[in-house]
Structure 1
Amino acid sequence: MHPAVEQIRQYLQLIALQFVQHPEQAELRVAESPQGDAVRFRLILEKTDVARIIGRNGMTASAIRSLAKAAGEKNGIKVIVHMLSHEEAAEQA
């Protein structure tokens, strides 16, 4: 794992734990592209916590994504951050 990816992972974990009420159910999945130039983070939370982390009009989620993308761009990595509930993750699997 690229050191920048690990730093972004730690950042997302820190932020998620600050916003959610059920941190024990929070899960962060990381998927890197085979070329190593892109990474996708899936922050899977309790349904009520998803609303908290998205924020009013999506402003909180937008800020979190912007900071993660900026950190990735600085290191030449495309970063995608998804925030979804356990139910939504199960449907996509």
Structure 2
Amino acid sequence: MKTVVENVRRYLQLISSQFVRNPELAELRIAEVPESSMVRFRLILDKADIARVIGRNGMTASAIRSLAKAVGEKYGVKVIVHILSHEEAEMV
């Protein structure tokens, strides 16, 4: 599971750095659920950067999630990626 977490973490950091204008406000939280072999990633961004990462009609976010899931499937791990603003992350 550590291989999946590290690979997806690096991927999300690389991709998010290409889209965000406020990288100092970007945060990546990782929660592993070992008994179900699931990993949840929360990419928390400044509200102004959310639209850039989600993209038109959610196409960019969909592509980001698809590639992250593909890495997980290779190792038999379910990968979930949430893209949230800081305000939304405080509510959850």
Q: What is the TM-score when the length of structure 1 is the normalising length? A: 0.95
Structure 2 counterpart of 1:24, one-letter code: E
Q: Which runs of 4+ in 1 moved over 6 A?
A: none
What displacement does 1:64 show?
0.2
Number of the residue aligned with 1:87? 87
Matches within 5 A, 1:8-27: 8-27=8-27
SS at match of 1:76: coil
Following the alignment from structure 1 to structure 2, what is the Cα–Cα distance between the partners of residues 5 and 53? 21
Number of the residue aligned with 1:29? 29
What displacement does 1:35 show?
2.0
Alignment RMSD (CA, Å):
1.0
User: Is 1:78 aligned with 2:78?
Assistant: yes
Write out per-residue CA displacement over residues 30-58 of structure 1, whole angstroms, 9 at most, x where no aligned residue: 00003261100000000010111000000
Following the alignment from structure 1 to structure 2, what is the Cα–Cα distance between the partners of residues 52 and 2? 29
Following the alignment from structure 2 to structure 1, what is the Cα–Cα distance between the partners of residues 82 and 67? 14
What displacement does 1:5 show?
1.2
Q: Which runs of 5+ in 2 are unaligned?
A: none
Q: What is the TM-score when the length of structure 2 is the normalising length? A: 0.96
Matched-pair identity in %: 70
